Amino acid sequence: MDYVRVLCSTAIALGLFCFVFPNERLLEPIMAVLFIATLAALGAYIWSQRCLYGEFRFTPNVVTSAALFLWHLGFVGIYITGLATDFRILDYFETSPHSNVEGIAMVAIGIAAFILGLTYGEARCTFPPEVTDRTAATISTIVLGIGTLLVCAYFAIKGRHLMGEYNSVFTEADSQRRAYNFGLMLAITGLAPAVLFAETRMIVLVTVAAALTVAVVAALMGTRWVFLVMLALVVSALQFRGQRISIVLVAVVGIACVTASIVVKEGRAGNPINSKTIGDYFGGRYTNPAVEFFEETGQALISCIYSAGEFRSAKRLERGKTFWHALRSVLPGAGAELRAASPMFVAAQNLFPVRFVTEGFTTGYSIFAEWFVNFGIAGVVFGSALMGYGLGLIWRFACERGDYLWTALSYCWAGYLTFGFRNDAMTWMRFVTWSAAIIVLITWLMREAKGHDTRPITEDS
């Protein structure tokens, strides 16, 4: 882990220097240096996990850290190669043209600090081989099943009418959507533990089928992230069951998912891809999946650039207010009046006022921007490192104990935060809190049913 920490510290130092002494005239070389430094830190961390297990594995924290990189620097990679499209360049670099360097530096600092925190939290832990736990698998499957039923019920009643009308999700009030969101939370909470702790392959197949149903329903309504997150969780859980999965196969499936995401995106915009238009979509520079995917996924960078300019003065910092509002929104029915003041909505109203009103359009947000809005660049450094340390510590507990509680927490939080970190805290705080409560309840029920702790039996027992 020492070389990972050195590379992370180097990226943080470079980011701090560029943030304190920004030079917009050197934007492109600065962007390239910070991109390479951050990519090196991420690559070193992923390689360290491969060295631990002797093969590449999608641990929950590998998934989360890789997603953080894509959400914030996906566009930068495309821009450096010269493939970026003109209108995307305007979106990224003209919204707040005097704080581009500071925004990119903020991102480099945040990602590197997060990975640095992971290394200290995990402390070279490895998950025990081939754990099984019938009770944990059964209850997790039930939770996944309930979630699947709620998602499908919402789709049958209301969601099917949203196909091709994605903007209606944001511009129309829909109280029934709470049941759908709760179903997604249950499905993601139950998925990985159900696969990981299952005693038979039949249970695994049933679990994957239920997850696929949820992912397809979500995709039909225009939500792409559910499928990608569930795919990562299933692959990770299968690997820790002892299933050898080819990286080439994962790459092929990933490319297929990226391609499918373009189909979903165009379909939700009312521009379905068919035999007549497929050549234009996949052959054109402005719609090619390899370019479009990374350009769009990297939009969290826009909020970082915007926040670096708007909250440059320490007097304007929120000093924890947005996190407090997010915590208050955890209570049922308390989020409606707070939502309008969320930093993601405020940024969208300032950056894209017309589209926000007519479409409910936002570019998402960023966990790094939120730390900065509240506590400045020091908040980005220490807040990101603290989050990384916390997630790393939870995975260490899962590895050391091999039990349901910590394993389920690590996986389901990875599932939420993989997407949540590109939004504001109000988006993911409720999911994280309620999923933890559900997992604690399940743990208590398991202990009552078994009469002892929830540690599963491993090969070595």
The pair of three-digit structure tokens given for residue 244, joined into one six-digit string? 């050898």
Distance (Å, rounded) from C-alpha 383 to C-alpha 317? 15
Mean pLDDT of 332-347: 62
Share of the chain above pLDDT 70, in %: 77
The string of DSSP codes covering 195-220 is HHH-SSHHHHHHHHHHHHHHHHHHHH
Name the burial class of residue 298, with classes exposed (0-12), middle (13-18) and buried (19+) by CB atoms within 10 angstroms of its CB.
buried
Lowest mean pLDDT among 43-57, 309-323, 399-413, 443-457: 443-457
Helix, strand, or coil (residue 318): coil
Mean pLDDT of 214-229: 81
Evaluate if residue 11 carries a pLDDT over 50: yes
pLDDT single digits (tens) 232-257: 888 888 888 888 887 777 777 777 76
pLDDT for position 30: 95
Higher pLDDT, 210 or 311: 210
pLDDT for position 14: 96
Taking the CA atoms of residue 50, residue 55, residue 57 and residue 61 in that order, the dihedral angle to the nearest 10 degrees is: -10
Distance (Å, rounded) from C-alpha 247 to C-alpha 236? 12
Share of the chain above pLDDT 90, in %: 26
Distance (Å, rounded) from C-alpha 450 to C-alpha 138? 13
pLDDT for position 116: 97
Q: How far is CA 176 from the centre of its chain?
A: 25
The closest alpha carbon to 117, from 367, 378, 389, belongs to 389
Q: pLDDT class for 453, splitting at 50, 70, 90?
A: very low
Lowest mean pLDDT among 106-115, 293-302, 333-342, 344-353: 333-342
Question: Sign of torsion, CA 206 209 213 215?
Answer: positive
Between the alpha carbon of residue 361 and those of residues 88, 224, 284, 348, the distances in Å are: 16, 16, 25, 7
Mean pLDDT of 103-124: 94
pLDDT for position 289: 60
Between the alpha carbon of residue 448 and those of residues 1, 136, 451, 452, 457, the distances in Å are: 40, 12, 5, 8, 18
pLDDT for position 327: 85
The segment with the largest mean pLDDT, out of 66-75, 171-180, 341-350, 353-362, is 66-75
pLDDT for position 42: 96
The closest alpha carbon to 194, from 147, 265, 141, belongs to 141
Higher pLDDT, 5 or 86: 5
Share the mean pLDDT of the chain: 81
Mean pLDDT of 85-113: 89
pLDDT single digits (tens) 300-327: 898 899 888 887 766 678 888 888 888 8
